Structure 1
Amino acid sequence: MRKSWVEFWDRGRWWKALILAVGYLALYESASLLMAPFVPFIGGAESASYVVVLLVVPILMGGLILVGFGASVRWLRSTFARQSIRGGGWMWIAVAVVLLFNVMRFASIDYAAAGFDWVAAWLLAGLLIGFTEELLTRGYVVRIMRSSGRSEIAVGLVSAALFALLHASNLFLGQPLLSTALQILYTFFFGFCMYLALRVTRTIVAPILLHASTDPSIFMQGTYPLTGPLASLAQLGNIVVVLVGVVLLVVFLITERRSAARLASTASIV
């Protein structure tokens, strides 16, 4: 039985990546619903209990499920091993831009007003979010797409698209359509930047850590911002990531197609 299960997932097909993403999303949302009875007993979004109950616990459940899945198909070790596919030096731009704005946001948070418990809860939530969502999209999805024989263009785009899909579900939770559309736009290009981080560092640890520092910095700085030029500049981070992501996507498409053409030319000569 286990052999059949492993063989099924080892035979890469793009729709299996979709099934895995949708399945994870369903389980995560179910875990969130299990927390609903505790809502009356926790504070608002500015309380540590709110972050722990509605973010940390559900994402922890989702992460454990993904780890269990990876263990069942024997993917965990290879997922965290050094990647064989290299990336171009220009891909470091994605890492630098995301890291720069994360640092600026962390530097423009009113930690005294936020309180130690709330900050600690958000840092824990960020670590779990980064680990879980990157394990799924830059780990398992990338593996499935590569084993299907798809080009790296397809790998990168599908990885980013399924990452954006995870956040599209907010529309069904009452988030306005325009806000959801903007979130999908941002998460697609952020997800693409994380794929570039995976390529250029050749390890999934890099996108995990970048992602782990992104969500806490955005939400903490948005809730308890300091005033001043640095804070104002830091708040432009999402817009900059989208704009830089667009440019890097164009460069990515051009360089990957040129690389494929060179390989095809070399193969025909041989």
Structure 2
Amino acid sequence: MATVNWKKFNMEVVADASNGQKGWEMFLEHSPAVVITDIVMPEQNGIELARKIKQAAPATKILLLSCHRDFEYAQEGIKVGASGYILKTAFQDDEFEEYLKQFTDEIQKSEEREQDSNGPEVLIYEIDEKWPEPIQKAVLLITKDLSESYSSVDVANEVGLSRSHFSTLFSKSVGESFHTFTEKLKINAASELLETTSLTLQEIGERVGVHDGKYFSKWFKKCTGCTPSDYRLTKRRITSDNLTPNP
């Protein structure tokens, strides 16, 4: 795999792990779209790693590398959601690259469907008609596209008020400061995207106006008390538990 031309498949290697536990930690940190793993690994085998990944991010493509004696394990891996497996004793570049091409095509189609159905992130917020007209306009502007990060000065200029007058009027009308209001909107939207989509942390950050992936993780943890990856995993686990029939 060291000779694979990853760029040919619009891919890059974001992490390399020496055992299953480290692989899980790397997955939580990077949220890759594709995971390639040995079945036999120390600390945590590839089947358990695949199971945890599919619970956290069902859209992730997983390719298992197996020895002949691991054939039953490979079948179990397919059952938990792996996309396929390759026998290491008969490894061929053509077979490996065919999987990569398949993954690239599937990911591209999924992104196109998601883009067609979602478009830009738009949050509908109920406007209180009792608010002064400048504040109504301000809230409409903020919620129209959360990928834009407006400062209070920007919005004040848009609605024809000085910054100090706008800030005072906004807090009095809405019941919280402009900063608190916009941050809550972005956190709620990010949480929804983490729970209901397979978008990467970078993509979610861009949709809510936090365009640096590393800063997005720090910002989300500061606001919620947990990392985006942990939040996504917890929510997916709760959903999975709720779907499990009672004995």
TM-score scaled by structure 1? 0.24
Q: Higher Cα Rg: structure 1 or 2?
A: 2
TM-score scaled by structure 2? 0.26
Q: Report which of the two has the higher share of strand.
A: 2
Q: Report which of the two has the higher share of helix.
A: 1
Higher relative contact order (CA 8 A, sep 6+): 1
